[in-house]
Amino acid sequence: MGFLKVEDLKVHFPIKGGFFGRTLGYVKAVDGVSFNLEKGKTYGLVGESGSGKSTTGRAIIGLNHITDGKIEFEDKEITKIHRAKAEIRKDIQMIFQDPYSSLNPKKRVLDIVAEPLRNFERLSRKEERFKVQELLELVGLSPESILKYPHEFSGGQRQRIGIARAVALKPKLIIADEPVSALDVSVQAQVLNFMKEIQRELDLTYLFISHDLGVIRHMCDHIGIMYKGRFVEEGTANEIFNEPQHIYTKRLIAAIPDIDPNKREELKRFRAEVSTEYEQAYNDYFDEEGLAYGLKPISETHLVALPEKG
């Protein structure tokens, strides 16, 4: 049984322009993306700004209009189901990037965390309060904080409130869109640890979207690398980091600063090599429009975007 199956997902945004604001063309933010999520695992979606990774996440949860393709969640098609109404949407929740702007500053923690409960479950005031306190305890905040406002918390604590809201309905899948990018490293560690703990406890599946390869490596079992709306490579964390096949992946991995200052020269040479390879082999890996080809399997789990001929 498939858990989440994304098939040939396309999200195109029209470009309006010209004299009467006609549609002149489309920005193909996501252009034919397919992948599967295994239950209880973490799937990392990596790419640079404009690669379409966030759009993919938002499309799955129904925040972006889907141009084409199919999304199946536990073998039920959810592509066309409206976000707010569907019972199924209880099972998929989202954590956002910026803990400073994703929480309404005028609402108390109680109202923020209880919002999804109010949408889907009918609880009495007392039950609701109890539930929220339970959730806050789960994310390591004191139950007394229900009456506080977001500004009274630090960045890491706010992100925990965001997580409490996301897990309120006991979802099965959480889409985390750059959940730690706005946080300092020590706070980031806190949130990442916590996300792992809660994953074990609640048997959660994550779709983890990030541009930070260090964080991705730490969190993910499977990784998909996106470039201009398409996948260039997909595989286990090991395959991606230790045996990258696509030149774009190689370049991305090579660009990560190494934490060992003794490896500077080595890294410099390595980057130069990768950069030369990137330039020389560019036409073998990208089509005339500079887009990646379709994914071809090179092992059971490892897929690389290569042209038809081989």
Partner 1 sequence: MWKFSLRRILIMIPQLFALSLLIFILAKMMPGDALSGKIDPNIDPARIEELREEMGWNDPWHEQYARWVGGVVKGDFGQSFRFKMPVTEIIGQRIVNSFWLSLVTLILTYLIAIPLGITSGRFNDTLRDHLITGYSYIGFATPLFIFALVMLWVFGFQLQWFPTSGSVAPGLEPGTFDYVASKLYHLLLPAFSMALIQTYSTIQYLRNEIVDTKQRDFIITARAKGASETRVYNNHILRNSLLPIAAFFGYEITLLIGGSIFVENIFGYPGMGQLLVESITLRDYSVVTATTLLFGVASVLGALLSDIILSIIDPRIRIK
Partner 2 sequence: MAEKLLEIKNLKTSFRIRDDYYAAVDNVSLTVNKNEVLAIVGESGCGKSALAFSIMGLHSRAKIDGNIYFKNEDIANISTSKLNKLRGKHMGMIFQDPLTALNPLMIIGEQIGETLLLHNKDMTKSARKEKVINLLEKVGIPRPEHVYEQFPHELSGGMRQRVVIATAIANEPDLLIADEPTTALDVTIQSQILDLIKDLKEDMNSGIVLITHDLGVVAEMADRVAVMYAGQVVEIADVHTLFENPLHPYTRSLFNSVPNANEEQDQLHVIQGIVPSLQNLPREGCRFAARIPWIDASAHETNPELHEVQPGHFVRCTCYKHFNFPEESKEEQQHGVS
> Out of 1, 19, 49, 82, which residue is the one contacting partner 1 (CB under 8 A)?
19
Minimal distance in Å, beta carbon 97 to partner 1? 21
Rule CB under 8 A: is residue 1 a binding residue for partner 1? no
Task: For the CB of residue 17, give the shortest distance to partner 2 in the complex, in Å.
Answer: 16
* Choice from 2, 14, 15, 17 touching partner 1 (CB under 8 A): 17
Greatest alpha-carbon pair distance for the chain in Å reads 66
H or E stretch covering 271: helix 264-285
Distance CA 85, CA 1 (A): 25
Interacting partner of 17 out of partner 1, partner 2, none (Cβ under 5 to 8 A depending on kind) = partner 1
Residue 198 near which of partner 1, partner 2, none (CB within 5-8 Å, type-dependent): none
Q: What is d(CA 250, CA 243) in angstroms, rounded to the nearest whole number?
A: 9
User: Would you say 24 or 256 has its CB closer to partner 1?
Assistant: 24
Rounded CA-CA distance 33/294 in Å is 9
125-138 helix and 155-167 helix, angle to the nearest 10 degrees: 130
Sheet containing strand 205-210, strands side by side: 92-95, 173-177, 205-210, 42-46, 222-227, 230-236, 303-305, 295-297
Q: Calculate the dihedral angle through the C-alpha atoms of 157, 162, 166, 168, rounding to the nearest 10 degrees.
A: 60
Residue type, 197: E
Residue 105 interaction partner, one of partner 2, partner 1, none, beta carbon < 5-8 Å per kind = none
Least CB distance to partner 1 at residue 24 (A): 12
Please choose, out of 12-20, 76-84, 137-145, 266-274, the segment that lies near partner 1 by the rule CB under 8 A: 12-20
* Encoded amino acid at 184, one letter: D
Amino acid at 158: R
Q: Answer with the entry of partner 2, partner 1, none that 20 interacts with (C-beta below 5 to 8 A by kind).
A: partner 1
Task: Tell me which of partner 2, partner 1, none is bound by residue 19, counting a contact when its beta carbon lies within the kind-specific cut-off of 5 to 8 angstroms.
Answer: partner 1
CA 72 vs CA 5, 65, 117, 186: distances in Å: 5, 16, 24, 37
Contacts with partner 2 by CB under 8 A lie at 48-49, 154, 156, 184-190, 192-193, 196, 211-215, 217-219, 241, 251-252, 254-262, 264, 267, 271
Residues 142/136, Cβ–Cβ less than 8 Å? yes
241 binds, among partner 2, partner 1, none (CB under 5 to 8 A by kind): partner 2
Q: Is 20 in the site for partner 1 (CB under 8 A)?
A: yes
Helix ranges, 139-246 (H):
155-167, 185-202, 213-219, 237-242
Q: Which is nearer to partner 2, 1 or 185 (CB)?
A: 185
DSSP string, 99-129: TTTSS-TTS-HHHHHHHHHHHH----HHHHH
Closer residue to partner 2 (CB): 39 or 211? 211
Q: Which is nearer to partner 1, 20 or 308 (CB)?
A: 20
Pick the closer one to partner 1 by CB: 17 or 290. Answer: 17
In angstroms, give the least distance from the CB of 20 to partner 1.
Answer: 8
Residue 193 binding partner per list partner 2, partner 1, none, with a CB distance cut-off of 5 to 8 Å that depends on partner kind: partner 2
Cβ distance to partner 2 smaller for residue 90 or 251: 251
- Residue type for position 13: F
Residue whose entry in the numeric block shows the structure tokens 């706005």: 182
Contact residues toward partner 1 (CB under 8 A) are: 17, 19-20
